[in-house]
Amino acid sequence: MFTPLPGHNVLPLAFEQVVAVIESINSPNIAIPELGTEPTKAYLVGALTPGGGAAIFCYLLQLETNRPILYISNPPEVALDQYTWLESQSIQYVESMGFMLDNLGFRARDPGEQRALFESLPPFREQQARIPGSAPMTSAAMLLGKDEAAPEIVALARLLASF
């Protein structure tokens, strides 16, 4: 269903190419050959291709090491009228791995929200690897960047997340 894209840690997409973003609402332990087993978050990103078709990227983010793994749909491009079929197959495949998915309604949002979402989601941003066993980044740190999250913001994010 998907082919690995070794050497990539950010989706090679422009904002205008993104058709859909589907995010996992859970983080099951996923075993990735040669990388190990970790709680993992999944994103499916539908995109327009330069050839006039569409593709789906699967972006997995191992949460303990903050290590991204990218895949592209197989076939890597389908005609636009087959996009719905490809998206459905991709969702079924990723759900079979234990992920529960939520469509973020990317193109149904206003342009400002789309841009903010594009700039904040992990598939479109460089990830800094963490040493295994270190504390996972908080949501505030993920949004602001590890070095930019002030301790009081992190503390507030932890407090709010506890409710």
Q: What is the pLDDT of residues 84-126, one digit of tens each?
A: 999 999 999 999 999 999 999 999 999 999 999 999 999 999 8
Closest of 52, 116, 114, 48 to residue 87, by C-alpha: 48
Label residues 30-57 b or e (16+ Cβ within 10 Å = b).
beeeeeeebebbbbbbbbbeeeebbbbb
Flag the least confident range among 72-76, 115-119, 127-131: 127-131
* Structure tokens, 85: 């079929």
Tell the residue number behind the tokens 């970790």, with chain if given.
Answer: 38
Q: What pLDDT score does 115 carry?
A: 95
**3 or 148, greater pLDDT:** 3
Place of tokens 């066993």: 133
Determine the distance from the C-alpha atom of residue 16 to the mean position of all C-alpha atoms in its chain, rounded to a whole number: 17
Q: Which whole number is the average pLDDT over 120-140?
A: 71
